[in-house]
Structure 1
Amino acid sequence: MATLAGTEHHPNARATLGAALAPGGRPSHAYLFHGPAGSGKRTAARAFAAALLADGAPDPDGVRRRVEHGTHPDLTWVAPSGAHEMLVGDIEEAVVAAAAMTPFESARRVFVIERADTLIEQAANKMLKTLEEPASFVHIVLLSDRLAEVLPTIRSRCQLVRFDALTTTQLEERVGRHGVPPELARACARLALGDGERALELALGDGPALRAGGERFARAAIHGKVAATRPWTELLKVKRARGEEAVARLEAQLADELEVVSRRDRRKLENAYSERIRRTRRRVETGALDLGLQLSSLWFRDVACLLWETPELIHHTDRVDELTRDAEGRRATQLREAVELVEETRRRLRSNVTEELALEALAYRLEALLD
């Protein structure tokens, strides 16, 4: 049997899922795919769903094509609608109620739930009976980048499937396949800290702009230019652009759905999308700022690595000359404290704080520290 897509570099996942799909195998009713973001969990989940639904189908290739395009009626793919949480409404109808209904055309129904670590307790409680006593045709695949944060009541009812972090070399090769120059691909692979999605995010689209914003934020504090450059404005600009892009995608989806929904249900659909848009914007914008600050934190860390004479540990491998200049006249202890200040602000951004004020305050605190 061919290796399941997404499991090429993951022997545990390859062995577990391969055995389930082998002739005479008995797929579990619930799996928890866990490992770093970008390690292949989503690819494997879609391939596994396709294999389950194609089993015994008169046109297995057609089934696989529809699964790949997200149009198979017996596959339900769920992502959190909350800013940072999976809410009851995300799974109550789409999973709990639907799991009691017989398949439309396949012998099975497959449910894939992203970011299972964000399930709030009420949503998890709704799922417990489905996980404990599923219908014979139901298979649930949960995905998580943070296994320790998955509620024990959920984790204990699933078969765990481990996906290991990709090596820097593997990430570099993945980024390079998108036409990214080798030096940039190497830096993005190291800055991603094992996260395959993050590596591509940094290399493509507005990723370079976000990288530049994070670097300038750190360097303005190092060189005493915070008041003159207001470096937080660049991070906020990328944040807003990402939020607007996410909103535009959802508004386009809403427009498509409004064309086929009855007049009576239009208001309900518009209200549901309004809340979803608000939460999505919040999640996307907070994520952009968090990544920008993480890059700033890594910049301070890289400068400290040069002071500690461990250049092989730096992440911004394409910016060695700039890091070297920033290390002149600095003390490693200063840089370590700078990292701690940035990480403190990253934690605060997850609560309801005024982002611009938080970034401005951080920039001036860093400048005073590094003076």
Structure 2
Amino acid sequence: MNPATAAPDALREATVHQPAAQAALFAALGAPRHAYLFAGPPGSGKRAAARAFAAELLAAGAADPEDARRRALADPSPHPDLVWLAPQGTQHLVDEVRERVIVAAAYRPFEGARRVFVIEGAEALADEAQNALLKTLEEPAPFVHLVLITSEPAAVLETVRSRCQAVRFAPLGVEAVVARLSELELGADDEERRAGALLAGGDADRAAFLLGGQGRELRAGAQACVQAALSDELADAPWRALLAVAEAAGSQAGEAARAHLEALAADGGEGDGRRVRRRSREAEEATRRAARRVRTETLDLALALVAAWLRDLAALAEGAEHLALNADRIEELRAVPGMAAGGLDARRARAGAELVMDTRRRLDVNVGEELALEALVFRLESLLLRDA
């Protein structure tokens, strides 16, 4: 079979907006390497491509290729020869990497001819875990294939990167993200989908989040913060809505991490008392890390949305509304206090966006979140109104 002319549908669809990655993966099906590094920005389709590629690796040599492919494509997958690790929190658990990849890679496939191990978020592997992987990467069993997925290839050790075939993914264009959102039937209309794509900056996963319930709440909260600053009405503390969404998203991520680790513990059997206690401690820590990571990411997105609203106000003030990221809210942008009368200073709006970016940087060094957001909105009010 010539993989370039008989490429499977799932892999073709997963890489339709990534021609370079598509060409590399189609070619790889003929003689796959033992290790790959899928590298590119968040939301560029690496995860879907890795699952489709893994499905083809497992289908080759299987007694029933279609059934093997179908099970491997399921998420989560019931295929016994597909192991998929995702970080539960800010880092992968070293013991999980050892048990589910390094040790498991020594055992022959349960069925078919291959075993595939996918490590999502490879940048979240601690140095200890990456170094432990080296022997598996250097001397893999002939039936083993590893796929590492990362948005930060520089955070993966050079000794690991050099042993993997790189497959690069580019940022998605706006139209590609809009098409993906349409396929998922997300968004009320094309205008909202386009706004989500623009605000997400080519990250299809982030755009999908923005078109969901929590994403819409964040957009509304960001808009409320700017409008409150411009109207000198801060008594309702609009920034608290952003904190509430971040808290809810973090709690959901923490519970998902807990459920995942409990399922793994159940699969691994009861074990001795020491091992059970260690797993319990790991589950609690992973739950806290996952909740903290998602809460922080959601707050950062909230601030990016506040900055986008200010940027859009500056664009409209200068007659360039076609550059607005909130493309579905042009009328609301036109209606903000001062805009209709032509009194909004574009330079002050851009300076406000810089204040927001400064707050984003400060949150990276553990500044108190609520105090930082409150201070930001009051500073925006001073900049946009009182110092005029």
Task: State TM-score, norm by structure 2.
Answer: 0.86
**Does the 8 Å contact 1:303/1:323 carry over to 2?**
yes
Is residue 309 from structure 1 mapped to residue 319 from structure 2 by the alignment?
yes
Is residue 230 from structure 1 mapped to residue 219 from structure 2 by the alignment?
no
Indicate the residue corresponding to 1:164 in structure 2: 170
Q: Mapping of 1:71-82 within 5 angstroms? A: 71-82=78-89
Q: Deviations over 1:284-329 (max 9, x none)?
A: 1111111111111111111122233322221001111222344442
Q: Mapping of 1:200-279 within 5 angstroms? A: 200-226=208-234, 228-253=235-260, 261-262=269-270, 264=272, 266-279=276-289
**Does the 8 Å contact 1:76/1:110 carry over to 2?**
yes
Indicate the residue corresponding to 1:320 in structure 2: 330
Distance in structure 2 (CA, Å) of the matches to 1:156 and 1:224: 56
**Does the 8 Å contact 2:44/2:204 carry over to 1?**
yes
Is residue 65 from structure 1 mapped to residue 78 from structure 2 by the alignment?
no
Distance in structure 2 (CA, Å) of the matches to 1:109 and 1:258: 22
- Residue 92 of structure 1 deviates from its aligned partner by 2.6
Distance in structure 2 (CA, Å) of the matches to 1:188 and 1:30: 35
Q: 2:147 is paired with a residue of what secondary structure? A: strand
Out of 4, 9, 16, which is 2:24 matched to?
16
**Does the 8 Å contact 2:86/2:119 carry over to 1?**
yes
- Residue 351 of structure 1 deviates from its aligned partner by 3.4
- Residue 282 of structure 1 deviates from its aligned partner by 0.7
Distance in structure 1 (CA, Å) of the matches to 2:233 and 2:123: 40
Is residue 136 from structure 1 mapped to residue 142 from structure 2 by the alignment?
yes
**Does the 8 Å contact 1:75/1:110 carry over to 2?**
yes
- Residue 87 of structure 1 deviates from its aligned partner by 4.8
Q: Mapping of 1:322-337 within 5 angstroms? A: 322-326=332-336, 327=339, 328-337=342-351
Distance in structure 1 (CA, Å) of the matches to 2:186 and 2:49: 24
Out of 367, 371, 374, which is 1:357 matched to?
371
Distance in structure 2 (CA, Å) of the matches to 1:114 and 1:282: 19
Q: One-letter code of the match for 1:210?
A: L
Q: 1:76 is paired with a residue of what secondary structure? A: strand
Q: One-letter code of the match for 2:191?
A: E
Distance in structure 1 (CA, Å) of the matches to 2:335 and 2:153: 40
Task: State TM-score, norm by structure 1.
Answer: 0.90
- Residue 107 of structure 1 deviates from its aligned partner by 1.9
Distance in structure 1 (CA, Å) of the matches to 2:332 and 2:178: 22
Distance in structure 1 (CA, Å) of the matches to 2:326 and 2:32: 44
Distance in structure 1 (CA, Å) of the matches to 2:37 and 2:260: 29
- Residue 54 of structure 1 deviates from its aligned partner by 1.4
Distance in structure 2 (CA, Å) of the matches to 1:242 and 1:300: 25
Equivalenced residues, count? 366
Distance in structure 1 (CA, Å) of the matches to 2:96 and 2:266: 23
Distance in structure 1 (CA, Å) of the matches to 2:71 and 2:80: 9
**Does the 8 Å contact 2:87/2:120 carry over to 1?**
yes
Is residue 43 from structure 1 mapped to residue 58 from structure 2 by the alignment?
no
Distance in structure 1 (CA, Å) of the matches to 2:125 and 2:258: 25
Out of 289, 302, 306, which is 1:292 matched to?
302
User: In angstroms, what is the RMSD of aligned CA positions?
Assistant: 2.3
Q: One-letter code of the match for 2:356?
A: V
Indicate the residue corresponding to 2:194 in structure 1: 186
Identical columns (%): 49
